[in-house]
């Protein structure tokens, strides 16, 4: 494979997060390298989504350092994270149901629009050129994810699996360097999962996007990710390539144990 | 009862006897006119004839440099993409033979054709097709190179047999610049008797055979169609049917080159209906299935429409039924009805045609299977000049055409210009003319057996000419069987009648050497599902829905309606369906139950479901069956069900009462 895994771009050091007396994350450290697919797995309530929310700037950990692209991050808001090239999808789809697929994806370009409200209202000259350029980029994403046929369909009318794909499209519209996917395959059938897997691999290989994903389907995780972090009750209990994690007795005991004996 | 050749046989223009020469001609006389459009990134992109010719030259040079020689076979696989159409012309420039393959064929099926045709190189659309070829590469010793159109996902394929079409074009352009006479010399070497293309038969009977057609044959068929319907270089067609199908090669290639009109490639197979509306073709070809789907969609949408609209639609459809066809054909219609229809044109027919994307349509054709009389009348009554034609791969799909104003529901029209048609003593339709195949590839025996002693091609279809000289098709000659009591049994005829109901997707009739006729039925999941939804009928999937008693009641009505209809036909009254069942799974080409063109493989099905056939004749009420199914990704699974069997009412034979 010609994929290049580069240096560490995101380094999480000793992260602890609690809500009142509830400890969601305890002293977790791991890193993400440029160009890799990094999975976070763990049973329900293990703190996976909290971890994504920390990276994304939604939650602010009480302890620990986050270094993104060599810069230590202080308290950061989600929109600042987005401006730095971090985009995400959500466990429960967060699209504008009444808007078309195209318009939803266009919102992903929002941060890159230069013209202000007044210019947009006039829709003339440079504004128009800008809009056309953005639209072209969005069309490339539509082509990439093979959703041409639903371009003009309101999102609310689409089946779940396709909505997930639209959400991925919107995240890609922001041209992120780091993409966070929260259970991209939850609730999908086998065929939809296969499609989604292929799209995730394509995004990673062809756009060179670094991906951090949370997923419950172990087959999928082991197949597509380069390295896996295992969380259990807010603690890290395993970290490494899929094969290693799969054979780690602690992981088997804590997570896979119940199901796989 | 042979019909003689008509005086206006199409003439091929001297100097333009091959497709590459025609292309060069178009590039000179209409260089800036659009030849191919393709929707990409949401916008229609145009390639002019001049650009197409330049690309074809570059492609031809690139292929020649890669080692492609005269007589070599070039496989072409993919959806309708401009560069795949251009690859056809490029191979022809070099005197090579393009071999068109169905893009949805599984690797195994492709292996057979590629081996049989001894393909030297392949031009494929994308990664999906490349993967299939790589899977079978070790069994294809003759295959030297594979070129792919779409580089997406191909970055990590490092095999030396693979190369992008972009690189090939680039190399070709340099070659063309350095040796500007090369392509022209190659084009000059081509003759009209050279094989221009190889198309494979669908294999309804046995293994697919490679049909070698010459430039002369396809040009004759192309020119003939163009003259017959007075097509000009202003026509717009949508090219969305498989390139490997003779119909697409005739309409999107031979006729496009003959007339110099524009073909439009849809964005993807899912967007065809949207693309159709955007393009608004003036000339359109679709199998009955597509027209059926379109109408079903209209009906489903009408059921969701408001009361006023529904009432208006119903009212004006009745008006159209009364006089629409007569008006289309320019026959006399009372003034009042004419005015009524004109109002309907403003309120219903016009907008409806517009919604369907058929506003600009001058001529539409359907073929490949029988079309239901209701369906046919529906389109004609709303002002769409829908006609039928008849032909097969071996005849460039050019045997009979319905002339404007002489369109009958149950015939396929008159022999096309320059084509001779006769009916043999056994009822078989036989045809002769320049559009006949040169040979089946590497099958001299099959070739010899395909022609009778007078040089007529034996179509294998049974039919007859009616009093107006129109050809009527009954069934495949060899499929026409006899019931035990000796009466005629034409399974296709019965199946088609069943399939004309929107609720029934497929049907398979049995009866040869049996005491009576029985049938397997596949319901149309969309139509019946919609019906079930309206009635609040819960179901979990196809298998569940198919076995619901209410659905059986529904289908029983259809079957009995057909029985009633058959009882009026003296030859067919014995063929009424006594017992039927609804199959627990949809017949699928992946399970080899249908051909790729969606024709049922009756013998295969009767063997696979032998228990069900026996149960039908043993008088059982239901039968348990387990069936292996193949999923799209190649895995196999199992569907098990207790299939119900129903008796249907039969009617005593009675001559049709004319109301």
Which residue among B41, B153, B270 sits closest to A143, beta carbon to beta carbon?
Answer: B41
Q: Which residue has the tokens 């972090």?
A: A229
Higher pLDDT, B410 or A67: A67
Q: Identify whether residues B233 and B332 lie together within a single domain.
A: no
Q: Identify whether residues B269 and B293 lie together within a single domain.
A: no
Q: What is the pLDDT of residues B625-653, one digit of tens each?
A: 888 877 767 778 888 888 999 999 989 88
Helices of type H across A26-93: 48-56, 78-83
* pLDDT average, residue stretch B366-392: 89
Nearest CA in chain A to B634: A191
- Please report which confidence band the pLDDT of residue B3 belongs to, taking 50, 70 and 90 as the band edges: very low
Q: What is the pLDDT of residue A115?
A: 65
Is the pLDDT at B4 greater than 90? The verdict is no
User: H-helix or E-strand containing A23?
Assistant: strand A22-33
Is the pLDDT at A253 greater than 70? The verdict is yes
Q: Identify whether residues B264 and B305 lie together within a single domain.
A: no
Q: What is the DSSP letter of B346?
A: I
Total number of domains in chain B: 3
Which residue among B42, B156, B633 sits closest to A2, beta carbon to beta carbon?
Answer: B156
Q: Which range is most confident: A86-90, B426-430, B438-442, B498-502?
A: B438-442
What distances in angstroms separate CA A236 from CA A15, A53, A68, A206, one per listed residue? Answer: 11, 16, 20, 31
Supply the CATH number for residue B178's domain. Answer: 3.40.50.12780
Lowest-confidence region among A26-35, A111-120, A121-130: A111-120
Q: Which residue has the tokens 């000009």?
A: B232
Q: Identify whether residues B260 and B317 lie together within a single domain.
A: no
* Nearest-neighbour CA in chain B from A169: distance (Å): 14
**CA proximity to B321, closest of B378, B387, B386, B359:** B378
Q: What is the pLDDT of residue A261?
A: 41
Interface check B274 vs A, CB under 8 A: yes
Supply the CATH number for residue B488's domain. Answer: 3.30.300.30
3-state class of B483 per DSSP? coil
* Nearest-neighbour CA in chain A from B629: distance (Å): 15
* Nearest-neighbour CA in chain B from A94: distance (Å): 25
**B267 contacts A202? CB cut-off 8 A:** no
* pLDDT average, residue stretch B368-373: 78
**B41 contacts A191? CB cut-off 8 A:** no
3-state class of B124 per DSSP? strand
Contacts for B367 with CB less than 8 Å, ≥ 6 apart = B247, B285, B287, B388, B389, B390, B391, B397, B412
Q: Which of residues 35-94 of A touch B (CB under 8 A)?
A: none
Q: Identify whether residues B174 and B294 lie together within a single domain.
A: no
In a domain, B378, yes or no: no
In a domain, B471, yes or no: no
Nearest CA in chain B to A203: B153
Q: What is the pLDDT of residue A204?
A: 92
In a domain, B592, yes or no: yes
* Nearest-neighbour CA in chain A from B470: distance (Å): 41
Q: What is the pLDDT of residue B240?
A: 94
* Nearest-neighbour CA in chain B from A2: distance (Å): 6
- Please report which confidence band the pLDDT of residue B6 belongs to, taking 50, 70 and 90 as the band edges: very low
Tokens of B100: 């068109």
Q: Identify whether residues B133 and B274 lie together within a single domain.
A: yes
Is the pLDDT at A93 greater than 70? The verdict is yes
Interface check B131 vs A, CB under 8 A: no
Interface check B176 vs A, CB under 8 A: no
Higher pLDDT, B98 or A122: B98
Q: How many CB atoms lie within 10 A of CB B130?
A: 23
In a domain, B53, yes or no: yes
Domain boundary among the residues B282, B305, B323 is at B282
Nearest CA in chain B to A143: B41
Instruction: Delineate the domains of chain A, giving CATH numbers in brackets.
Output: 1-85+176-261 (3.40.50.300), 94-175 (3.40.50.300)
Higher pLDDT, B591 or B582: B582
Domain boundary among the residues B359, B375, B391 is at B359
* Nearest-neighbour CA in chain A from B44: distance (Å): 13
Which residue among A1, A194, A202 sits closest to B153, beta carbon to beta carbon?
Answer: A202
Q: Identify whether residues B203 and B295 lie together within a single domain.
A: no
Interface check B271 vs A, CB under 8 A: yes
Domain boundary among the residues B253, B282, B311 is at B282
Q: Identify whether residues B95 and B171 lie together within a single domain.
A: yes
**B40 contacts A148? CB cut-off 8 A:** no
**B42 contacts A142? CB cut-off 8 A:** yes
Instruction: Give just the sign of the alpha carbon dihedral A53, A57, A59, A63.
Output: positive
Q: What is the pLDDT of residue B368?
A: 75
In a domain, B320, yes or no: yes
Q: What is the pLDDT of residue B95?
A: 96
Higher pLDDT, B598 or B364: B364
Is the pLDDT at B1 greater than 50? The verdict is no
Tell me which residue range forms the domain holding B350. 287-359
* pLDDT average, residue stretch B386-412: 91
A194 interaction partners in chain B (CB closer than 8 Å): 633
Contact A227, A240 (CB under 8 A): yes
In a domain, B526, yes or no: yes
A142 interaction partners in chain B (CB closer than 8 Å): 41-42
In percent, the amount of chain B with pLDDT more than 90 equals: 64
Q: What is the pLDDT of residue B2?
A: 44
Interface check B633 vs A, CB under 8 A: yes
Contacts for A243 with CB less than 8 Å, ≥ 6 apart = none
Q: Identify whether residues B495 and B508 lie together within a single domain.
A: yes
Tokens of B67: 């080692």
Distance of CA B558 to the CA centre of its chain: 26
Q: Which of residues 125-164 of A touch B (CB under 8 A)?
A: 135-136, 139-140, 142-144, 146, 148-149, 151-152
Is the pLDDT at B5 greater than 80? The verdict is no
Tokens of B609: 């479901």
Interface check B156 vs A, CB under 8 A: yes
Helices of type H across B517-609: 525-534, 542-546, 549-567, 602-608
**B270 contacts A149? CB cut-off 8 A:** yes
- Tell me which of A148, A159, A196 to substitute to probe the interface with B (most B C-beta atoms closer than 10 Å): A148
**SS3 string of B527-539?**
HHHHHHHHCCCCC
* pLDDT average, residue stretch B590-614: 86
Q: How many CB pairs under 8 A join A and B?
A: 40
B271 interaction partners in chain A (CB closer than 8 Å): 148-149
Q: Identify whether residues B318 and B276 lie together within a single domain.
A: no
- Beta bridge partners, B481, equal B489
Q: What is the pLDDT of residue B8?
A: 65
* N-to-C CA span, chain B: 33
- Please report which confidence band the pLDDT of residue A1 belongs to, taking 50, 70 and 90 as the band edges: very low
Contacts for B183 with CB less than 8 Å, ≥ 6 apart = B57, B60, B61, B93, B176
Higher pLDDT, B59 or A47: B59
Nearest CA in chain B to A149: B271
A140 interaction partners in chain B (CB closer than 8 Å): 41
Q: What is the pLDDT of residue B658?
A: 41
Is the pLDDT at A224 greater than 50? The verdict is yes
* pLDDT average, residue stretch A184-188: 87
Q: Which of residues 202-261 of A touch B (CB under 8 A)?
A: 202, 205-206
Contacts for B39 with CB less than 8 Å, ≥ 6 apart = B45, B264, B265, B266, B267, B271, B275, B278
A207 interaction partners in chain B (CB closer than 8 Å): none
Contact A223, A196 (CB under 8 A): no
* pLDDT average, residue stretch B107-118: 93
In a domain, B593, yes or no: yes
Interface check B79 vs A, CB under 8 A: no
In a domain, B421, yes or no: no
Q: Identify whether residues B635 and B575 lie together within a single domain.
A: yes
Is the pLDDT at B572 greater than 90? The verdict is no
* pLDDT average, residue stretch B179-201: 95
Contacts for B184 with CB less than 8 Å, ≥ 6 apart = none
Helices of type H across chain A: 48-56, 78-83, 101-107, 117-122, 126-144, 160-173, 190-206, 218-224, 242-247, 249-251, 257-260
Q: Identify whether residues B212 and B352 lie together within a single domain.
A: no
Q: What is the pLDDT of residue B571?
A: 67
**Cα–Cα–Cα angle for B383, B385, B390, nearest 5°?**
150
User: What does the mean pLDDT of chain B come to?
Assistant: 90
Q: What is the pLDDT of residues B226-277, one digit of tens each?
A: 999 999 999 999 999 999 999 999 999 999 999 999 999 999 888 898 899 9
């Amino acid at each position: 494979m010609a994929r290049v895994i580069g240096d560490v771009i995101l380094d999480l050091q000793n992260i602890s997060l609690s809500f009142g007396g509830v400890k969601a994350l305890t002293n977790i450290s791991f890193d993400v390298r440029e160009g890799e697919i990094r999975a976070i797995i763990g049973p329900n309530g293990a703190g996976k989504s909290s971890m994504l929310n920390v990276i994304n700037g939604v939650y602010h950990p009480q302890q620990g350092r986050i270094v993104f692209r060599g810069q230590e991050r202080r308290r950061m808001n989600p929109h600042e994270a987005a401006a730095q090239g971090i985009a995400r999808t959500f466990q429960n789809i967060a699209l504008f149901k009444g808007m078309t697929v195209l318009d939803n994806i266009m919102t992903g370009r929002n941060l890159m629009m230069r013209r202000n409200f007044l210019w947009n209202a006039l829709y003339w000259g440079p504004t128009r050129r800008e809009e056309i350029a953005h639209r072209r980029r969005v069309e490339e994403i539509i082509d990439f994810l093979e959703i041409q046929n639903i371009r003009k369909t309101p999102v609310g009318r689409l089946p779940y699996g396709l909505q997930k794909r639209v959400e991925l499209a919107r995240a890609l519209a922001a041209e992120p360097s780091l993409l966070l996917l929260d259970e991209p395959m939850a609730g999908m059938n086998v065929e939809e999962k296969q499609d989604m897997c292929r799209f995730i691999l394509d995004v990673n290989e062809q756009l060179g996007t670094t991906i951090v994903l949370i997923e419950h389907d172990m087959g999928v995780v082991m197949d597509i990710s380069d390295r896996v972090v295992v969380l259990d009750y807010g603690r890290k209990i395993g970290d490494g390539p899929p094969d290693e994690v799969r054979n780690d007795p602690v992981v088997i005991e804590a997570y896979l144990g119940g199901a796989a004996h | 009862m042979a019909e003689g050749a008509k005086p206006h046989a199409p003439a091929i223009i001297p100097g333009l006897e091959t497709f590459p020469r025609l292309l060069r001609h178009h590039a000179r006389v209409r260089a800036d006119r659009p030849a191919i459009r393709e929707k990409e990134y949401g916008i229609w992109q145009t390639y002019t004839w001049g650009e197409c010719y330049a690309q074809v030259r570059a492609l031809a040079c690139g292929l020649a440099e890669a080692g492609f020689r005269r007589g070599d076979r070039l496989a072409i696989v993919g959806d309708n993409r401009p560069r795949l159409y251009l690859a056809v012309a490029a191979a022809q420039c070099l005197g090579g033979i393009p071999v068109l393959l169905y893009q949805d064929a599984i690797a195994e099926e492709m292996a057979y054709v590629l081996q049989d045709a001894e393909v030297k190189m392949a031009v494929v659309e994308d990664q999906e097709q490349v993967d299939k070829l790589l899977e079978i590469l070790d069994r294809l010793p003759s295959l030297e190179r594979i070129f792919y159109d779409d580089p997406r996902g191909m970055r990590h394929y490092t095999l030396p047999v693979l190369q992008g079409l972009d690189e090939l074009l680039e190399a070709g352009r340099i070659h063309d610049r350095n040796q500007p006479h090369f392509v022209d010399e190659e084009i000059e070497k081509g003759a009209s008797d050279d094989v221009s293309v190889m198309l494979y038969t669908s294999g309804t009977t046995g293994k697919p055979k490679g049909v070698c057609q010459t430039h002369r044959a396809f040009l004759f068929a192309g020119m003939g169609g163009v003259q017959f319907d007075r097509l000009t270089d202003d026509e717009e067609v949508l090219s969305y049917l498989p390139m490997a199908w003779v119909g697409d090669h005739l309409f999107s290639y031979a006729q496009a080159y003959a007339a110099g009109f524009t073909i439009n490639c849809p964005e993807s197979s899912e967007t065809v209906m949207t693309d159709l509306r955007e393009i608004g073709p003036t000339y359109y070809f679709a199998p009955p299935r597509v027209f059926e789907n379109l109408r079903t969609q209209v009906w489903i949408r009408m059921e969701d429409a408001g009361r006023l609209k529904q009432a208006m639609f119903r009212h004006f459809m009745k008006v159209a039924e009364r006089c629409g066809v007569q008006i289309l054909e320019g026959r006399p219609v009372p003034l009042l009805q004419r005015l009524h229809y004109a109002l309907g044109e403003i309120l219903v027919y016009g907008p409806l045609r517009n919604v369907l994307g058929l506003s600009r349509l001058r001529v539409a054709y359907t073929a490949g299977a029988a079309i239901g009389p209701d369906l046919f009348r529906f389109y004609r009554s709303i002002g769409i000049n829908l006609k039928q034609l008849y032909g097969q791969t071996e005849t460039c799909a050019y045997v009979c055409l319905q002339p404007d104003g002489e369109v009958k529901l149950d015939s396929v029209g008159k022999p096309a210009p320059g084509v001779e048609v006769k009916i043999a003593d056994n009822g078989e339709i036989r045809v002769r003319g320049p559009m006949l195949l040169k040979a089946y590839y590497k099958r001299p025996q099959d070739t010899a057996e395909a022609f009778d002693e007078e040089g007529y091609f034996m179509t294998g279809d049974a039919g007859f000419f009616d009093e107006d000289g129109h050809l009527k098709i009954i069934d495949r000659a060899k499929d026409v069987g006899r019931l035990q009591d000796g009466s005629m049994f034409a399974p296709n005829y019965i199946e088609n009648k069943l399939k004309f109901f929107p609720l029934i997707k497929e049907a398979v009739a049995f009866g040869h050497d049996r005491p009576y006729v029985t049938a397997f039925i596949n319901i149309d999941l969309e139509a019946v599902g919609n019906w079930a939804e309206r009635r609040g009928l819960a179901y979990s999937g196809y298998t569940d829905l198919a076995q619901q008693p209410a659905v059986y009641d529904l289908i029983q009505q259809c079957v009995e309606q057909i029985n009633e209809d058959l009882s009026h036909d003296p030859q067919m009254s014995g063929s009424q369906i006594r017992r039927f069942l609804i199959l627990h799974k949809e017949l699928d080409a992946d399970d080899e139950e249908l051909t790729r063109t969606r024709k049922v493989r009756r013998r295969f099905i009767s063997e696979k479901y032998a228990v069900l056939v026996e149960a039908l004749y043993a008088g059982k009420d239901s039968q348990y069956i387990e069936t292996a199914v193949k999923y799209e990704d190649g895995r196999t699974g199992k569907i098990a069900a207790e299939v119900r069997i129903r008796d249907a009412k039969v009617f005593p034979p009675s001559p049709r009462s004319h109301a």
